[in-house]
Amino acid sequence: MSVLVIGSVALDTLTTPAGKAEDTLGGSAVYFGLAAGQLDNVRIVGVVGPDFPIKEKEFLQTRNVNTEGLTIGRGPTFRWEGVYGPDFGDARTIRTELGVFASFEPELPEAYKKTPHVFLANIDPELQLKVLDQVDSPSWIAMDTMNLWIDHKKPSVLEVMKKVDLLFVNASEARQLSGTNDLFRAGRYILKRGPKYVIIKLGANGVMALGGPQPFLLPACPVKKVVDPTGAGDSFAAGMLGFLSGVGGELTFRNITRGICYGAVTASFAISDFGVEALRSLSRKEIDERLAFYLSTNQLDRVKE
């Protein structure tokens, strides 16, 4: 099957306790495409400027990411600069330059309109809505967002939420959105506003999924060394949704819990190097091998003994 993603395609400048990278390939749709492309076919919708290296667009095509919907606009490519503290927690945004995204009017290629699965990665919620207007009854739609949009465009974020099956947020976004510190209450606030399921990402502490018969919680997949957490959220969504899309699985809570294991694994690859470096050569075989390791670290069956 295939999954369509609309999101940012960016040149990021990143500072983490492990070092710095300037104008490096990034963006929510790129992280998603590179990780999900190993699990299913990805179709990307976005825009870059003429300053975007053409070899990166060609590279995406070699990684099972269809770029017919990635247009070249007038103006600079979207740029984002983020800094991480010693705990590798949430990034502090130093600058966001929308560039070509400020005037972007997404127009889906004809072949994209019937894509069965849709991921609205982090981007202006008004652009997310414009894409939803053009897709033809997908079997599921998932959505991501961030503090910037909740701060400045909350009504539009809520409008998109009404139309999606699943929402990804991190803990601080869940609190910001709902106005409550208690994450279970925040989850209930979200579930009353559209999505059937919500995935609340807890960074190094793992993830929790709500919307099923009972909450589902899972720790993060351990990595030897964290280098750069950028894209962890997008790669998590990629593992989870790429898996679900690839097996043609319905969006049931049971399938979501299976997908979460893939998400935890793909995110663990993303954070082990700067920018998208670790995802450039990621293979399905590596994902499956680490998944087996990850499942064994949890040893959930032993708890019953």
Residues of this chain that bind ligand AMP (CB under 6 A): 8, 10, 12, 26-28, 80, 96, 122-123, 146, 148, 230-234
User: Considering beta carbons, is residue 80 or 112 the nearer one to ligand AMP?
Assistant: 80
Minimum distance of ligand AMP from residue 96's CB (angstroms): 5
Minimum distance of ligand AMP from residue 68's CB (angstroms): 21
Minimum distance of ligand AMP from residue 52's CB (angstroms): 13
**Whose structure tokens read 């964290």?**
226
Edge-first strand order for the sheet with 117-120 is 65-72, 41-48, 2-6, 117-120, 140-144, 166-170, 197-201, 207-210, 216-218
Minimum distance of ligand AMP from residue 304's CB (angstroms): 35
What is d(CA 299, CA 305) in angstroms, rounded to the nearest whole number?
11
**Whose structure tokens read 């998944």?**
291
User: Considering beta carbons, is residue 66 or 122 the nearer one to ligand AMP?
Assistant: 122
User: Considering beta carbons, is residue 249 or 263 the nearer one to ligand AMP?
Assistant: 263
Helix/strand/coil (H/E/C) assignment for every residue in 51-89: CCCHHHHHHHHHCCEEEEEEEECCCCCEEEEEECCCCCC
Minimum distance of ligand AMP from residue 133's CB (angstroms): 20
Minimum distance of ligand AMP from residue 160's CB (angstroms): 14
Burial degree of 272 (CB within 10 A; 0-12, 13-18, 19+): middle
User: Considering beta carbons, is residue 241 or 249 the nearer one to ligand AMP?
Assistant: 241
Kindly report the number of other CB atoms within 10 A of residue 91's CB atom.
Answer: 19
User: Considering beta carbons, is residue 40 or 234 the nearer one to ligand AMP?
Assistant: 234
Tell me whether strands 207-210 and 216-218 are parallel, antiparallel or unpaired.
Answer: antiparallel
User: Considering beta carbons, is residue 80 or 140 the nearer one to ligand AMP?
Assistant: 80
- From first CA to last CA, the distance across the chain in angstroms is 40
User: Considering beta carbons, is residue 67 or 122 the nearer one to ligand AMP?
Assistant: 122
State phi, psi for 244 to the nearest 5 degrees.
-60, -40
Answer for the pair 122, 144: CB distance below 8 angstroms, yes or no.
Answer: yes
Minimum distance of ligand AMP from residue 276's CB (angstroms): 8
